[in-house]
Amino acid sequence: MMQEIPYQVVRSNRKSIALVIDSDANLIVRAPYRAKESDIAGFVEKKRNWIASKQRQISGCAAKYSPLSLKNGEGLPYLGNIYIIKRDAVPSIRLSGANILLPAGCTKDDVIAWMQGEAAGILAERVPLYAGRMEVRYSSVKLSGAKTRWGSCSAKDKLRFAWRLAMCPLPVIDYVVVHELCHVAHKNHGAVFWASVRAAFPNYKQQRDWLKANGKIMEIL
């Protein structure tokens, strides 16, 4: 007899059942209010192989994102690549081939400040680029220290982005930028919102899946 698959059900005013694997590899079932428990269980069982595959993938990703102590040999993600930390006689943090060189007295706060500067520079380029393409006007752009969300758009169209985006691949950063720019016109996650995301960034699902699988990257610094 196959082992029962544990899951949490979140009901809402939606039309169909959907499965989500969170950053801890837990299964969340999003279901309509009217959906029967038997229908939900049947849907989960039908997707058993897909669920197991995704949970293995996310568990594997989570294992490589343990909190950093900034010792020689540790890997620091930057723009989707993993750079090996090397303490060296350099005046400031810099990349050198496959390594990221840190001054001898460099602290975690120093690395965070460097990441924040990198994120600010990237967003200063990418936000206006996509806003121009999409013909969207926003109020301002600021960095946040969020560890649970990558971006946000306020009621007054003020955009905020986690500086930890600097650790993600550029296409993922672009997706988050487009996502928040779409919220300027659509303050929800309805069908029209996702249609606008798709129009501006056709392969958004690939980038969204990367964020789901690599969510633990937020916790290393």
Supply the CATH number for residue 150's domain.
3.30.2010.10
Residues 211, 138 share a domain: yes
Is 98 among the domain residues?
Answer: no
Q: Are 196 and 136 in contact (CB under 8 A)?
A: no
Place of tokens 């081939």: 97
Residues 185, 111 share a domain: yes
Rounded Cα gap, residues 217 and 63, in angstroms: 10
Residues 44, 138 share a domain: no
Is 70 among the domain residues?
Answer: no
Residues 113, 58 share a domain: no
Is 73 among the domain residues?
Answer: no
Residues 208, 111 share a domain: yes
Is 185 among the domain residues?
Answer: yes
Name the residue among 184, 179, 186 with its Cα closest to residue 138.
184
Q: State which residues form the domain around 204.
A: 107-219
Residues 143, 57 share a domain: no
Q: Total structural domains in the chain?
A: 2
Is 118 among the domain residues?
Answer: yes
Is 2 among the domain residues?
Answer: no
Place of tokens 């007899």: 1
DSSP string over 19-49:
EEE-TTS-EEEEEETT--HHHHHHHHHHTHH
Is 133 among the domain residues?
Answer: yes
Residues 203, 111 share a domain: yes
Rounded Cα gap, residues 116 and 186, in angstroms: 28
Please report, in tens digits, the pLDDT of each residue of the chain (221 residues total).
568 899 999 999 898 999 988 877 889 999 999 999 999 999 999 999 998 888 887 777 666 778 899 999 999 999 999 999 999 999 999 999 999 999 999 999 999 999 999 999 999 999 999 999 999 999 999 999 998 899 999 999 999 999 999 999 999 999 999 999 999 999 999 999 999 999 999 999 999 989 988 888 998 99
Rounded Cα gap, residues 84 and 76, in angstroms: 6
Q: Are 145 and 91 in contact (CB under 8 A)?
A: no
Rounded Cα gap, residues 174 and 161, in angstroms: 11
Rounded Cα gap, residues 51 and 173, in angstroms: 26
